[in-house]
Amino acid sequence: MALAEVSELKSPVKTWVPSKKQLLIGGKWVDAKNGKTFDVENPATGDIVAQVADGKKEDIDAAVKAARKAFESGPWKDMSASERGKLVWKIGDAILKYGDELAELESLDNGKPLAVARAADVALSADIFHYMAGWATKIKGDTFEISTDHFYTPGQKYFSYTLKEPVGVVGQIIPWNFPLLMAAWKLAPVLATGNTVVLKPAEQTPLSALRLAEIIQEVGLPDGVLNVVTGDGEGAGAPLAAHDGVDKVAFTGSTEVGKMIVQAAAGNLKKVTLELGGKSPNVVYKDVADIKATAAGAASAIFFNHGQCCCAGSRLYIEKPIFDDVVSEVSNIAKGMKVAPGLTSPDMGPLVSKEQFEKVQGYIKSGLDDGAKCAVGGGTVGDKGYFVEPTVLTNTNDKMKVIKEEIFGPVVAAEPFDDHEEIMSRSNNSDYGLAAAVWTSDVQKAIRTAEAFRAGTVWVNCYNIFDAALPFGGYKQSGWGREMGSEILEAYTQVKSVVIAK
C-alpha cells in the first residue's frame, strides 16, 4: 500500500493518514523547529504511508516548557480530583468511540492483525483509562501522632500528616510493539495523578499515539498537559530522558536502551521507571490434563503479536515423556497459521520493520549455525514486507544466543527437562525476569513452581492474561517498578510530611 493508495483504507483513516503529522506542544499542532519530517512505512509492504515531524532537542525543550507551565498554573493545577477522574474516564469512552479507526491505524502502522488490534489493543487501552479514573479520588495520605517529647520543646503537642502529590513533569518513551496500548498504560496513571507529560512515541509506529492525542484534545484536556514529540531515540528520546526540566522518566523498551535512560536521568536525579526485555520460560509438566490445549497455549505465548512481546514465552521447557508430543502439536499449529498483511486479519502479520526482520533472521541463522534444528519455519514469507515464518527450534542448549538473548520475533526454542529442581535452575538462569508460565494439573506443583520463578508475572495453565488492576513489571534486568494496578500510582506521586505545632 503506497502513499498514493491509502484511499483503499476505510474512512476516516484514508483521509487522516496521508496528511503530514505535526508535534503537539502546548495545545497546538506545530512543525518540528528544523522543518524536517521522517517517513512512516507499512511493514506489510515497505511502502510509505505518512510523513511525521522529526522532533529534536529544541522541540523537547519547548514541550517540557509547556508541560511545566500547565503543571504550575492554569486549569489543570486547580482541577479537583473528581473532575480529573471524570476527564480520564471520558478518554476511555472516546477510545471505544473511535475504536475501529484506532485499530486500523495500529494494524497499518505496526502490522498486527486488525481483529487483534480491535479486541486487545483498543479494548485494553480504554480499560486502563477507566480503571485509573477511579483512582483519581483515592490518592490519599495518612495522619500520625508524634510520640517523641523533643528536648527543646518539652510538653509541646503536634499534629502531623502526609500528602501524596504529583511528581510534576513526566517524560514518557514508549515502544513500537503495542503503540496505542503502551501510550494508554503510560498516560492514564500520569493524568489520574495530576502530572503533566511529554510523550515520545516510537519512530516506527507514531500514528496511533498522534491520533490518540487528537482524541484526548477533543475530550477537553487543558493545553500543555499532554505534549507529543515524535522523532528517533537519539534526536528526541535521549534529550527527553536527560532534560533537567523533567521530574520523572518512564520508559518501555529494550534493556540496552533502559540502561542508557538510567545514565541520562542521573543529571538531575529524576525518578525512573523501566519496563524492559524478557526471555520468559514456559514450563510444561508431563501431568498436563490436555496436551493439545497446552500446546495451543504455548503457541499463543510465542506467536501472539508475532513474538514481539517483552513477555513472550520464548523458552519452552517440556518434561521429557511428553516432549515430542508437545513439540509436534506446537509445530502443527505454526504450520497452519496464516501469515499476511495485518489489515486482512491473519493469524500473524509482518514484523514491524526491516531492522527487526533482519535481526530475527540473524537469530535463526545463529541458532542453526550453533546446531539447532527447525521443527517448523525458519524462513520468510512473500517477496515484499517483513514476514517471518512462525519458527520452532529444537536441539538447542542453554549456552546458545537463541536461549540467552531476547529475539523479539516468532521464534521459540523447545528443550526437554527431567525434574522440578533442574527446570527451576534453568528457568531462572537468565538476566531477565519479566514473566513465566507453568502448565500442570497438580495444584501443589503449580504453586511451588510459581513461587520458585524469579519473575514479575507468573501464569498457570494460561498465558498473556492482563488486567488494568494487575501490576506488570520485572525482576532483574527486566526493569524497575510496575505498570498498572495501584502500584503504578507510587511511580507518579511523591510524599510530603507536614508537622503542625498545636
- Where in the sequence numbering do the catalytic residues fall? 275, 310
Cβ atoms of 189 and 489 within 8 Å: the answer is: yes
Q: CA-CA distance, 397 to 415, in Å (whole number)?
A: 8
Cα 386 to the chain's mean position, in Å?
Answer: 21
Contacts for 276 with CB less than 8 Å, ≥ 6 apart = 252, 253, 254, 255, 258, 310, 432, 434, 474, 477, 478, 479
- Residue 348 bridge partners (DSSP): 339
- Residue 251 bridge partners (DSSP): 173, 274
Q: CA-CA distance, 232 to 171, in Å (whole number)?
A: 15
Contacts for 391 with CB less than 8 Å, ≥ 6 apart = 334, 364, 374, 376, 377, 378, 410, 411, 412
Phi-psi region of 3 (alpha: psi -120 to 50; beta: other; left: phi over 0): alpha
Q: CA-CA distance, 139 to 486, in Å (whole number)?
A: 10
**How many residues are listed for the chain in this entry?**
502
Contacts for 263 with CB less than 8 Å, ≥ 6 apart = none
Q: In the chain, what is the straight-line distance between the N-terminal and C-terminal CA atoms, in Å?
A: 72
Cβ atoms of 483 and 280 within 8 Å: the answer is: no
List, as one string, the DSSP characters of 381-437: -SSSS--B--EEEES--TTSHHHHS---SSEEEEEEE--HHHHHHHHH-SSEESEEE
- Exposure string of 197-216, with b = 16+ CB inside 10 Å and e = fewer, is bbbbbbbbbbbbbbbbbebb
Q: Up-side HSE of residue 417: CA atoms within 13 Å toward CB? A: 21
